[in-house]
């Protein structure tokens, strides 16, 4: 069965191919995200920063994690403008190739014991190049799929991008969990840590092949030349719009919670509180599996109720759950099952549920003229401020206070920003994506 978007013919197989492309690319991005975040939290402080204290090594490992986020902003602006000027398809091919190659190459890096300070320098260099490509990857996938999806189903279809984040997180966590179970600590530090990064090459090859056979976005293809920015969009132009700041606030809230719960919390539990590594990794594995229900359900709800009400409910719930959930998670007097259940609950509410509607909400927030650029820059600045710096700040504060309270406080703060942004945003469900105006300008 065929469908027409803005006068450009696309059939169901084109939509499926676009959905698969967005899903796979985002899966690869978040496979890298989780591979590196768990590696930084649980392994890299031994491999790349062995001469530091346990607390300082964790902070340095998180610092290299944040370095990629600085590069992402540059990549978002460069490739976002390219995507608005020459098309979504070509840029998505470039970003997936850059990102995938760097993820794989981490698996062949020399260690500190082999080459000294050159090892962490090479790690940071790969993170920077990787960040340039990743800066436009998820926003490009969101743009492409949102511009393909039919009205009334945009939320649930665009949630496939968020489902890609879940698949990537699940795959990476599963690989780490298997490795932790199968090898001893000596083998892990000697060579087994390389396996997850090398394995990502399989996903990269398939994603590249799929994008070579992808048709251009119907919204972009139907746009007149005078509706395209032709490289004239500057950051000052972007920052003038209310939609940009609201989108960045929504991203800041969700990404901040993600960085703390998926990244920092695992390292804090294992390195500081001396929990068994299997507890946070198994909890994230189960939570990601449950996310296969949470994510499309949240996307479906946003099609029925609207984007704004779902954001309001999820952010409010995150605020109320933060302290009781974290207080149980860090308390060894509770059994492992209870601790894992709390991780699963806060992860699905504060991270996965919001990620499900973030994909379509950010696309609908912006006009067709420079949607890719605005979405990518808002996404990456919000990500840098929240995820790039959040785990680093949490590490410093937890070490300084010798307490878990900073984690809960930061989750509340992130969720308050997301809640305020949701209160201020207009309802954007099923907005015409061919409209060159931003949602707040209508």
Instruction: Tell the burial category of 162 from Cβ atoms under 10 Å away from its Cβ (0-12, 13-18, 19+).
Output: buried
Confidence label for 369 from pLDDT (cuts 50, 70 and 90): confident
Residue ranges covered by each domain of the chain: 9-441
Q: Going along 311-415, which residue ranges are E strands?
A: none
∠ CA 290-35-413 to the nearest 5 degrees?
65
Q: Residue 241 pLDDT > 90, yes or no?
A: no
Confidence label for 233 from pLDDT (cuts 50, 70 and 90): low
pLDDT of residue 186: 86
Whether the Cβ atoms of residue 65 and residue 40 lie closer than 8 Å to each other:
yes
pLDDT tens digit sequence for 81-123: 999 888 888 899 899 889 889 989 999 999 888 888 788 888 8
pLDDT of residue 199: 86
pLDDT tens digit sequence for 259-273: 899 878 888 888 888
CA distance 255 to 24: 20
CA distance 38 to 268: 11
What number of CA atoms fall less than 13 Å from residue 164's CA on the CB side? 28
Rounded to whole angstroms, what are the CA distances from 260 to 225, 345, 351, 381, 390?
43, 14, 10, 17, 7
More confident residue, 177 or 53: 177
Structure tokens at 156: 């649930």
Helix, strand or coil for residue 330?
A: coil
Q: Residue 231 pLDDT > 80, yes or no?
A: no
CA distance 158 to 288: 18
Q: Which residues pair with 5 in a beta bridge?
A: 8
Of 140, 62, 107, 102, the residue nearest 390 (C-alpha): 62
Structure tokens at 271: 């390195």
Work out the mean pLDDT of the chain and round it to a whole number. 85
CATH superfamily of 9-441: MFS general substrate transporter like domains (1.20.1250.20)
pLDDT of residue 228: 60
Instruction: Concatenate the DSSP letters of all residues of 311-332 into one string.
Output: HHHHHHHHHHHHHHHHHHHT-T
**Exposed e or buried b per residue across 10-35, where buried means at least 16 C-beta atoms within 10 angstroms of its C-beta:** beeebbebbbbbbbbbbbbbbbbbbb
Helix, strand or coil for residue 438?
A: coil
pLDDT tens digit sequence for 135-152: 888 888 888 888 888 889
Q: Residue 130 pLDDT > 50, yes or no?
A: yes
The stretch 254-258 carries a mean pLDDT of 93
What pTM does this model have? 0.82
Q: Which residues pair with 9 in a beta bridge?
A: 4
Q: Residue 62 pLDDT > 80, yes or no?
A: no
Structure tokens at 308: 């704004």
Of 164, 202, 160, the residue nearest 25 (C-alpha): 164
Angle formed by the axes of helices 405-424 and 242-258, nearest 10°: 150
Of 290, 388, 305, 416, the residue nearest 341 (C-alpha): 290
């Amino acid at each position: 069965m065929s469908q027409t978007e803005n006068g450009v013919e696309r059939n169901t197989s084109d939509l499926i191919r676009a959905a698969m492309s967005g899903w796979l690319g985002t899966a690869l991005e978040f496979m890298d995200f989780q591979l590196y975040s768990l590696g930084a939290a649980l392994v890299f402080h031994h491999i790349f920063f062995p001469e530091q204290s346990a607390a300082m090594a964790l902070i340095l490992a998180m610092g290299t994690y944040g370095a990629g986020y600085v590069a992402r902003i540059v990549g978002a602006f460069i490739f976002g403008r390219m995507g608005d000027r020459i098309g979504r398809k070509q840029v998505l091919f470039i970003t997936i190739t850059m990102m995938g190659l760097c993820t794989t190459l981490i698996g062949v890096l020399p260690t500190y014991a082999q080459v000294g300070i050159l090892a962490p320098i090479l790690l940071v260099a790969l993170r920077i190049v990787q960040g340039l490509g990743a800066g436009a990857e998820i926003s490009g996938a969101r743009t492409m799929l949102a511009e393909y999806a039919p009205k009334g189903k945009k939320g649930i279809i665009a949630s496939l991008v968020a489902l890609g984040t879940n698949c990537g997180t699940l795959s990476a966590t599963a690989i780490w969990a298997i490795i932790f179970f199968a090898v001893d600590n000596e083998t892990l530090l000697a060579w087994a840590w390389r396996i997850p990064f090398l394995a990502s090459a399989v996903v990269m090859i398939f994603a590249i092949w799929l994008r070579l056979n992808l048709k251009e976005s119907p919204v972009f293809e139907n746009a007149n030349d005078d509706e395209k920015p032709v490289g004239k969009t500057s950051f000052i132009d972007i920052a003038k719009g209310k939609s940009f700041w609201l989108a960045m606030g929504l991203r800041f809230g969700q990404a901040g919670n993600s960085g703390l719960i998926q990244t920092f919390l695992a390292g804090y539990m294992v390195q500081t509180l001396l929990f068994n590594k299997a507890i946070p990794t198994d909890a994230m594995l189960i939570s990601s599996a449950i996310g296969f229900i949470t994510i499309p359900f949240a996307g479906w709800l946003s099609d029925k109720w609207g984007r704004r009400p779902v954001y309001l409910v999820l952010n409010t719930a995150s605020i109320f759950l933060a302290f009781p959930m974290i207080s149980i998670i860090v308390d060894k007097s509770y059994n492992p099952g209870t601790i894992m259940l709390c991780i699963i609950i806060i992860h699905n509410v504060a991270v996965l549920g919001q990620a499900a509607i973030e994909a379509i909400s950010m696309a609908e927030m912006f006009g067709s003229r420079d949607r890719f650029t605005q979405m990518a820059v808002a996404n990456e600045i919000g990500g840098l401020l929240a995820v790039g710096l959040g785990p680093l700040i949490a590490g410093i504060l937890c070490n300084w206070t010798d307490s878990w309270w900073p984690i809960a406080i930061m989750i509340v703060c992130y969720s308050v920003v997301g809640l305020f942004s949701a209160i201020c945003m207009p309802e954007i469900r099923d907005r015409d994506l061919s409209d060159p105006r931003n949602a707040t300008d209508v």
